[in-house]
A and B are shown apart, each in its own frame.
Chain A
Amino acid sequence: MAGRAEWPVAKRNIAEAGERRLFFTEHEWATIEAATARIYPTDDQPGAREAKVVRFIDRYLSGLDFIFAGADGDGFLAVSGRDADAWRIRISRLQATYRAGILNLDAIAGRDFGAEFRLLSDERKDRVLESVSGAPKPTGIRVSESGEAHVQNISDDAFGFFDALALHTRQGLFCDPVYGGNHGRVGWMMIGFPGPHSLADTRDCTYGHPDKFLTDYDWADLIPHLRSNGRPQEQAEYENEGAKPRGNRENK
């Protein structure tokens, strides 16, 4: 059984997947494209539609071929062993979540406005999404006294349809283009993130952010007590004290 250190890189020709639908039906594709376009709308700058977020989600839900890009960004790791079992479960749950979510969008759209979700006006689509999310459309950053717990590794395992859609829209907007989203790097350009030309450049370290570190700095300028003394007196004392034998200290 191959562990992840030995997973080969498969699908070297990413372009092969092209514009083809891999999972969604035509209707599902159009519905998710319309929904993501409301999650991250287009204004004078591109949004989810231009970033091809729907293609990103479609590839993700298609199976195990687009889970982990290889370090060079020229293909995807061939996930195997128990990890493949876990990913099969995860993806099939998400497929079901999306299929049910799309049916629900259309059901609410039909009930409230008498048409399929994708055919509604932007304003009406937003009403449906509010209904699905269970909360009013956000109007700004919400500062709350109680706050939320913060988990560092954000996964979609426990997510329902709306939360998954919102997270995957972000992912499809700002991922490395190898994953099928962030088409033409429009997501990165919009927020001013100078993403790498390819993952290979981040691996061999030709891509980095050297210009984001200061070159014209002096620690004494940033740390006041270094200005007068060079080194604080306390530090000199510490060094003498450092290797004190145990016995002396015990009796203090």
Chain B
Amino acid sequence: MRTRKFERVDAVIIGTGATGGTAAKVLSEAGLKVVGLDRGPWLKPRDFSGDEIKYVNRNFLVPDPLLNPRTYRESEADEAKMAAFSLLPQMVGGGTVHWAGWFPRPKPSDFIQRSLHGSVEGASLADWPYSYHDLEPYLSKIEWAFGCAGLDGADKFCPPRSKPYPTPPMAPTRFGRTFYRACERLGINAHPIPQAMITKPFNGREPKHLTGFWNLYGDPSGMRSGTATTFIPEALATGNYELRTECYVTRIVTNAGGEAKGVVYLDADGNEVEQEAGVVILAAGAIESARLLLLSATEQYPDGLANSSGLLGRNATFHEYLYAVGLFDREVTEPFDGYAGHYLSGGSMQFYETDEKRGHINGSIIGASQVGHPINWMLPGRPAWGAAAKQSDREYFRHSMKIGVCLHDLPVENNRVDLDPAVKDAWGLPAARITHRSHANDLALAKWQIAKNAEILDAAGASQITAVMHKRCTGNTFHQHGTARMGFDPEKSVINEWCEAHDVPNLYVVDGSGFPSALGVNPTLTMMAHAWRASDFIVKHHAKGTKYRLDRPRAVRKTATEA
């Protein structure tokens, strides 16, 4: 096949989601010539509607697993089986097309897991090479450039903020009000969870969509913040960003000196195209980014690009969404109508920090949220058929309430992404294989947290409580991190503190791949701030040919509050 070549540009960005979209905006607004590539289409708000079959059951927004298979196994000894693992939308906007938009900030403690907890058996905890305070200005930049709703002062445990929220939170739902009151009874600080949406006119956007078709659906109104409706159009408006959709990058190309030269991709018609660039920026999500680096192996880099440490793909963390559902008597309680609301309505950060009395380290965000729509409403232990199935729908569809947890899982070196030796995708390339076994701390945290959520539901007056327990990691949060760990030491990490590969000086990985540990909150805000920070570095230093490295921390920090 003859490879078509395009003129060299300053940067090529693989991916247009949360982090690729952020890099596109920052670099193109700074005047760099940028090409953005995405495997999927650019769907517009007019393509979306409240169609449960299409979005939740037939997975219109996520890759078809028959074309893009993924395999999963719990340990090296098992055979990996096909699994719908963390099927993040592969299209312009990426995960910000289908997400609910949880937009909480991380905490200082998230960045110093090793200093706080030392060596935890079976885990591979590491400090981040930068701190919450380093990232804070970028968290504010994202909240204000992207659009975010929150309530200043409501979260007693809120980390330092330099700016207030740009727009106020969505009004509570009836299940939200019940959650707030139950928490007050138990002395728990409940508050709106910041969400990536706008509730007042903002940057030319209008908040007009009071719906229930939110989590997993596309947003036809543009009220929810997503890069497909914000950063990507803003990047295009500079005239410096060219977006190419339906382009599947098959490898990153290096030159004789070992530097990244560009990428090779298949366009929509299956033609092979080469795009050269001064900087190659990988923003495809931690699974696909690791896969592409492994697929880009050469004679010089036989174990995959940027993998001299042997750590590429390792220390993968995925979170897991777990929840308890309370069922309420119709005779006693008003209907909650948990199909409505913009997914979230109240949450808490009270159980976030480590409390040794609980028997595990760390904690997670919790949130009261929609129970879902009629076909897929979340009822653990649902009777599958017969009169009991019908009765439970009639009794509880409008009378149930869910409190969920985004499980803060610990990094484990053997939890990893690699190339499946047997399964290939529709383009003939090896599928990503996920090997993951939850650390004992994940299981203990899940158990404690579900019990706590059940306690809140009990205080809210639930007559029966049923829960999803943590059996195995399914990737059901679509949160992916850790496969190209960031750090100062090239032997213990894949990329440096600016997201540049230790081995390949002009290759950056700006998505969650770099996260040395997962957070206890939803990661997208942090990922976007992380990508903005790296993009700033590319503009201010890399593009100008200057090198700038952070000093390693001089003192070991002992506690989160001192950090």
Contact surface of A with B, Cβ cutoff 8 Å:
1, 3-6, 38-41, 43, 45, 47, 67-69, 71-73, 82-83, 85-87, 89-90, 126, 129, 133, 137-158, 163, 166-167, 169-171, 173-176, 179, 187-188, 190-193, 195-196, 199-200, 202-205, 207-210, 212-215, 217, 219, 222-226, 230-232, 234-235, 238-239, 241-244, 246, 249-252
**Which of the residues A141, A147, A191 comes within 8 Å of B469, measured between beta carbons?**
A147
Minimum distance in angstroms from B364 CB to a CB of chain A: 16
Extra pairs beyond A217-B171, A252-B555 (9, CB < 8 Å)? A69-B51, A82-B64, A152-B321, A205-B209, A209-B341, A235-B153, A242-B160, A244-B160, A250-B553
Minimum distance in angstroms from A199 CB to a CB of chain B: 4
Minimum distance in angstroms from A204 CB to a CB of chain B: 7
Stretch in B231-239, B290-298, B388-396 with 4+ CB within 8 Å of A: B388-396
The closest CB in chain A to the CB of B192 belongs to A219
Q: B471, A148: Cβ atoms under 8 Å?
A: yes
Question: Does B170 sit within 8 A of A, measured CB to CB?
Answer: yes
The closest CB in chain A to the CB of B81 belongs to A158
Q: B474, A151: Cβ atoms under 8 Å?
A: yes
Q: B62, A153: Cβ atoms under 8 Å?
A: yes
Query: Size class of B's contact patch?
Result: 35 or more
**Which of chain B's residues 32-49 have a Cβ closer than 8 Å to chain A?**
40-44, 46-49
**Can you list the 4 inter-chain pairs with the closest CB atoms, starting with the nearest?**
A147-B469, A202-B50, A138-B383, A5-B41
Q: B374, A141: Cβ atoms under 8 Å?
A: no
Binary contact track B18-41/A, C-beta < 8 Å → 1, others 0: 000000000000000000000011
Q: B388, A5: Cβ atoms under 8 Å?
A: no
Expressed in whole angstroms, the Cα–Cα distance for A126 and B387 within the complex equals: 11
Q: B397, A193: Cβ atoms under 8 Å?
A: yes
Q: A1, B268: Cβ atoms under 8 Å?
A: yes
Binary contact track B351-395/A, C-beta < 8 Å → 1, others 0: 000000000000000000000011110111111111111101110
Expressed in whole angstroms, the Cα–Cα distance for A133 and B384 within the complex equals: 10
Chain A hits for B137, CB < 8 A: 243
Q: A188, B476: Cβ atoms under 8 Å?
A: no
Minimum distance in angstroms from B49 CB to a CB of chain A: 4
Question: Does B220 sit within 8 A of A, measured CB to CB?
Answer: yes
Chain B hits for A6, CB < 8 A: 41
Minimum distance in angstroms from A216 CB to a CB of chain B: 10
Minimum distance in angstroms from A4 CB to a CB of chain B: 5
**Which of the residues B53, B171, B246 comes within 8 Å of A171, measured between beta carbons?**
B53
Q: A214, B474: Cβ atoms under 8 Å?
A: no
Q: A214, B171: Cβ atoms under 8 Å?
A: yes
Chain B hits for A238, CB < 8 A: 158-161
**Which of the residues B66, B134, B180, B389 comes within 8 Å of A40, measured between beta carbons?**
B389
Expressed in whole angstroms, the Cα–Cα distance for A250 and B115 within the complex equals: 13
Expressed in whole angstroms, the Cα–Cα distance for A60 and B300 within the complex equals: 51
The closest CB in chain A to the CB of B61 belongs to A153
The closest CB in chain B to the CB of A138 belongs to B383
Q: B394, A210: Cβ atoms under 8 Å?
A: no
Q: A68, B58: Cβ atoms under 8 Å?
A: yes
22 A/B residue pairs, CB under 8 Å, sorted by A: A43-B387, A68-B54, A68-B58, A138-B384, A140-B392, A141-B327, A143-B466, A148-B471, A149-B476, A152-B476, A153-B87, A157-B66, A167-B57, A188-B374, A205-B221, A208-B212, A212-B210, A212-B212, A213-B340, A214-B176, A223-B154, A234-B158
Question: Does B530 sit within 8 A of A, measured CB to CB?
Answer: no
Chain B hits for A242, CB < 8 A: 136, 160-162
| Also in contact, A225 and B189, with CB within 8 A (given A68-B58, A214-B171, A246-B133) | yes
Chain B hits for A199, CB < 8 A: 49-51
Q: B471, A146: Cβ atoms under 8 Å?
A: yes
Minimum distance in angstroms from A233 CB to a CB of chain B: 10
| Also in contact, A209 and B211, with CB within 8 A (given A142-B381, A217-B177, A226-B154) | yes
Expressed in whole angstroms, the Cα–Cα distance for A157 and B220 within the complex equals: 28
Expressed in whole angstroms, the Cα–Cα distance for A73 and B48 within the complex equals: 11
The closest CB in chain A to the CB of B427 belongs to A82
Chain B hits for A176, CB < 8 A: 50-53
Minimum distance in angstroms from B380 CB to a CB of chain A: 6
Expressed in whole angstroms, the Cα–Cα distance for A142 and B66 within the complex equals: 33
**Which of chain B's residues 161-177 have a Cβ closer than 8 Å to chain A?**
161-162, 170-174, 176-177
Q: A204, B212: Cβ atoms under 8 Å?
A: no
| Also in contact, A150 and B322, with CB within 8 A (given A5-B42, A192-B397, A196-B50) | yes
Chain A hits for B383, CB < 8 A: 138-142
Q: A155, B84: Cβ atoms under 8 Å?
A: yes
**Which of chain B's residues 478-528 have a Cβ closer than 8 Å to chain A?**
478
Minimum distance in angstroms from A213 CB to a CB of chain B: 4
Q: A150, B474: Cβ atoms under 8 Å?
A: yes
Chain A hits for B380, CB < 8 A: 143, 147-148, 150
| Also in contact, A150 and B321, with CB within 8 A (given A141-B464, A155-B84, A202-B213) | yes
Minimum distance in angstroms from B547 CB to a CB of chain A: 18
Question: Does B117 sit within 8 A of A, measured CB to CB?
Answer: no
Binary contact track B124-163/A, C-beta < 8 Å → 1, others 0: 0000000101101100000000000001111010111110
Q: B393, A239: Cβ atoms under 8 Å?
A: no
Expressed in whole angstroms, the Cα–Cα distance for A189 and B108 within the complex equals: 49
Expressed in whole angstroms, the Cα–Cα distance for A178 and B53 within the complex equals: 11
Minimum distance in angstroms from B297 CB to a CB of chain A: 26
Chain A hits for B553, CB < 8 A: 250
| Also in contact, A175 and B375, with CB within 8 A (given A82-B67, A126-B386, A199-B49) | yes
Minimum distance in angstroms from A133 CB to a CB of chain B: 8
Expressed in whole angstroms, the Cα–Cα distance for A140 and B472 within the complex equals: 25
Question: Does B540 sit within 8 A of A, measured CB to CB?
Answer: no
Chain A hits for B562, CB < 8 A: 252
Q: B467, A147: Cβ atoms under 8 Å?
A: yes
Expressed in whole angstroms, the Cα–Cα distance for A206 and B17 within the complex equals: 29
Chain B hits for A83, CB < 8 A: 64, 67
Q: A208, B210: Cβ atoms under 8 Å?
A: yes
Q: A4, B397: Cβ atoms under 8 Å?
A: no
Chain B hits for A146, CB < 8 A: 469, 471
| Also in contact, A171 and B398, with CB within 8 A (given A203-B48, A208-B210, A243-B136) | no
**Which of the residues B41, B62, B220, B393 comes within 8 Å of A202, measured between beta carbons?**
B220
| Also in contact, A212 and B471, with CB within 8 A (given A174-B375, A203-B49, A250-B553) | no
Q: B131, A249: Cβ atoms under 8 Å?
A: yes
**Which of chain B's residues 197-237 have a Cβ closer than 8 Å to chain A?**
208-213, 216, 220-221
